[in-house]
Chains A and B, each alone.
Chain A
């Protein structure tokens, strides 16, 4: 078993094939998309591969330490060019192939005209625990 992070981006990923903003979809298209995402998570809960998911707001700020006794420096909100993460799902699968398969399935969520968005998702393996048997 290994854990993988599926990262979804607001910005910074290559353009998806079906690239129409949601506020241009019909109500039914929006409903179908949301249902697809829910069903996907439910299915993984059923198979025992779901770990966690979260969605992030569309704004954020860079922050850094500016020395003892001084307030931190901020730079932001993020510039328009900044890579902007929209959310993630963490899955725990037996193989890398299975993780790829699931990421592909998530990317096929329907968008405008009910066609798959073909959204680019980032698939990132977690570091695992050091094995007990090493020799």
Chain B
């Protein structure tokens, strides 16, 4: 039973139902029901044409559900207007679904949930587990989201940037429960890259691949390991090679964007055989490019770290001094630069302060340990 294949067919099947005239919300329910039936039936009776099987099953589920609610006449109208399956390229349907599920009228959490279900083919239970909320809560979130986009035209182009933001959010959530959200985000971004030619889609895919390549080395026994101390022998060289290739092809198009710039920074880190050989000068330049797209204080904070490596800790502290002390991770960066500058006492104090402001337990433990290391 190939669950990956099954899930990869989800958007095309859903697109066909919608094109045949099924309202999005009902079509989406029908496809979920068909997926559940496939999981039950396929192991014993694998279909010769999996997609055709799913379309037939989902359409039947849709008609069954509609029969209960809708007048006979309307149903016949829908059936009469049914176009031949496959008359519209799947790629268009898939792309439209991404746009719909990331529609600007949706909140980020709704867009994420709807994308994972309607495009990703995950069940409500899996999504609920991944985001640590009760299944009933997630079901409600998805059903409200479907209502919100119920009247959105399916044939209008959407905004790629909103889709990328949603996929970025999914990737950043990492791993919890039995669904690997990072891997799922990569799968969905690959699928998107296959149906739209856009340098920023490629940029985001490259960024994800390059970060994912370092995953095995990012923690040891549940403890965070900073980039400089990671065991580079455990980095996934195949993913890095793919990420770099995707990025280079995107950069060659000469339409730079935020994700390509971030991926370029990740690629420069991946390119260094040891931390000491990192090309920090180029990384600072890429941060400057990034700032041209998004003048975000978080980018400026990361740039201060890079300046500290390229031009020495004093230069880094000077860049840091221009930023707001209330920024998340400000104290952590300050602690790091003060230690590099030889001021262990200030560094220890700032690490302890940073631990108190950490936004997750792994980070809090890491920062506390840094303070303890300097205090002992």
Q: Show the binding face of A for B, using Cβ within 8 Å.
A: 21-27, 30, 34, 55, 57-59
Contacts of B373 in A (CB 8 A): 27
Closest residue of chain B to A10 (Cβ to Cβ) is: B356
Contacts of A26 in B (CB 8 A): 372, 376
28 CB contacts below 8 A, A to B, read A21-B352, A22-B372, A23-B351, A23-B352, A23-B368, A23-B371, A23-B372, A23-B375, A24-B372, A24-B375, A24-B376, A25-B376, A26-B372, A26-B376, A27-B369, A27-B372, A27-B373, A27-B376, A30-B365, A30-B368, A30-B369, A34-B365, A55-B361, A57-B358, A57-B359, A58-B356, A58-B357, A59-B357
- Shortest B304–chain A CB gap in Å is 24
- Does B213 reach chain A (CB closer than 8 Å)? no
- Does B355 reach chain A (CB closer than 8 Å)? yes
Contacts of B127 in A (CB 8 A): none
A22–B369 Cα distance when bound, in Å, is 8
Report how many residues on chain B are interfacial, defined by Cβ distance under 8 Å: 17
A26–B368 Cα distance when bound, in Å, is 11
- Does B348 reach chain A (CB closer than 8 Å)? yes
Could you say which of A23, A25, A57, A58 contacts B348, with CB atoms under 8 Å apart? Answer: A23
Minimum-distance CB pairs A-B, first 6: A23-B371, A23-B352, A58-B356, A23-B372, A22-B368, A23-B368
Contacts of B376 in A (CB 8 A): 24-27
Contacts of B372 in A (CB 8 A): 22-27, 30
- Shortest B99–chain A CB gap in Å is 35
- Shortest A48–chain B CB gap in Å is 21
A55–B360 Cα distance when bound, in Å, is 9
- Shortest A64–chain B CB gap in Å is 24
Closest residue of chain B to A23 (Cβ to Cβ) is: B371
A65–B359 Cα distance when bound, in Å, is 27
Closest residue of chain B to A21 (Cβ to Cβ) is: B352
A58–B361 Cα distance when bound, in Å, is 11
